[in-house]
Amino acid sequence: MGSDQTFTFDYVFDMDSSQEIVYETAVAQLIEKSFQGFNVTVLAYGQTGSGKTYTMGTGFEDESPYDLPGIITRAIRSIFDQANAKKEGVRFEFDCQFLELYNEEIVDLLAKKDAFASLTEEIIREIKQYNIDLLALSEIWRKGMGQKNLQDVYVLFYSGDDTHHSSGIGIMMPLEVQRSVLKPTSVNDRIMLAQFVTEHSKLSVIVCNAPTNKEDEDVKDSFYETLHAATKDIPKPDVVFVLGDLNLKVESGRQCCPEVVRQHGLGLVNEMAHYQWIISK
């Protein structure tokens, strides 16, 4: 920037500053300016982990308190409050975009477009970029079991709930790989199997998406029992891969899962680690 440049701060907030104080001090006046015809911008800039997402209010984490909305939520509320207060004899029209910059492409997350189509377009970009032949997917929100051709290049086999769109898993591959697939088997909306015939052996792939820690114990027990049963039904000569999210965190060293991680662990362990026998055998 040059050594002759001088910059000053209009406001400095410490760690105890609330979301409300930050908004009222630095942003609220900008909303009023926008109604006077000025173009206004709020830009959060900083290193990773500095609090940009939290301050702007786009984190949407499960543990985030609902009484601590960020700048975007407060600004939208203020815009409509002021519009309602000034609506006598005035007509307001609002346009909204929620843009994401991903892989050097700008995507409008609010655009009227089939959500599944948007998801698969993003996935196909990833497959091409990393040259992936088999990709396990979770929470794809497809009902029942079936397959769908994508862009005449890829195929998606999926398994979801029979009655409504919830959870759902799938496995995606190029069409040339599909020629090696025997008919996939749906176990439920969290587990499916696919067997591949290769030049040297048969390959059995299990795709799964485990319940989170917040689920009831009987739900978690049922999932891992079903997964264990599915692995036992696979012919012994087959090479077996388990793909997906088992919701396990295993610590480093050999204390928790010696047959699985050896000395290479995450340094963390969660309560789901006692199910480690599923993957260690």
pLDDT the model gives residue 255: 56
Q: Are strands 185-186 and 239-245 parallel, antiparallel or unpaired?
A: unpaired
Q: What are phi and psi of 126, to 5 degrees?
A: -65, -45
How far is residue 187's CA from residue 191's CA, in Å, rounded to a whole number? 5
| Adjacent-strand bridge partners of 185 | 193
82 to each of 15, 77, 135, 158, 214, how far by Cα in Å? Answer: 30, 9, 48, 47, 40
Q: Is 53 known to sit in a ligand binding site? A: yes
pLDDT the model gives residue 1: 57
The pLDDT-based confidence of 21 (bands split at 50, 70, 90) is: very high
Residue ranges of domains in the chain: 19-94, 98-132, 133-247
Q: Is 47 known to sit in a ligand binding site? A: yes
DSSP string for residues in 188-244: SSSEEEEEEE-SSSEEEEEEEEPPPTTS-HHHHHHHHHHHHHHHHTS-TTSEEEEEE
pLDDT tens digits along 207-231: 988 888 778 888 888 888 888 888 8
- The larger pLDDT score, comparing residue 113 to residue 192, is at 192
pLDDT tens digits along 149-201: 887 788 888 888 776 655 788 888 888 888 888 778 888 888 888 888 888 78
Q: Is 46 known to sit in a ligand binding site? A: yes
| Adjacent-strand bridge partners of 174 | 154
**Residue 220: which residues within 8 A CB-CB, separation 6 or more?**
210, 211, 272, 275
Query: Taken in order 268, 166, 241, 131, is the CA torsion positive or negative?
Result: negative
% of the chain exceeding 70 in pLDDT: 78
pLDDT the model gives residue 77: 93
pLDDT the model gives residue 249: 62
How far is residue 115's CA from residue 108's CA, in Å, rounded to a whole number? 12
- The larger pLDDT score, comparing residue 72 to residue 4, is at 72
- CATH code for the structural domain at 133-247: 3.60.10.10
Average per-residue pLDDT in the chain? 79
Report whether pLDDT(281) > 50.
no
- When mean pLDDT is compared across 122-131, 143-152, 168-177, 248-257, the lowest value belongs to 248-257
Give the mean pLDDT of 270-279: 50
Q: Is 51 known to sit in a ligand binding site? A: yes
How far is residue 197's CA from residue 275's CA, in Å, rounded to a whole number? 30
How far is residue 94's CA from residue 177's CA, in Å, rounded to a whole number? 48
Asked if residues 242 and 279 have their Cβ atoms less than 8 Å apart, the reply is yes
- The larger pLDDT score, comparing residue 59 to residue 53, is at 53
**Residue 118: which residues within 8 A CB-CB, separation 6 or more?**
107
Q: What are phi and psi of 25, to 5 degrees?
A: -80, -45
Q: Is 50 known to sit in a ligand binding site? A: yes
How far is residue 175's CA from residue 153's CA, in Å, rounded to a whole number? 6
Q: Is 168 known to sit in a ligand binding site? A: no
- Planar angle of CA 93, 96, 98, nearest 5 degrees: 175
Report whether pLDDT(97) > 50.
yes
Q: Are strands 185-186 and 191-197 parallel, antiparallel or unpaired?
A: antiparallel
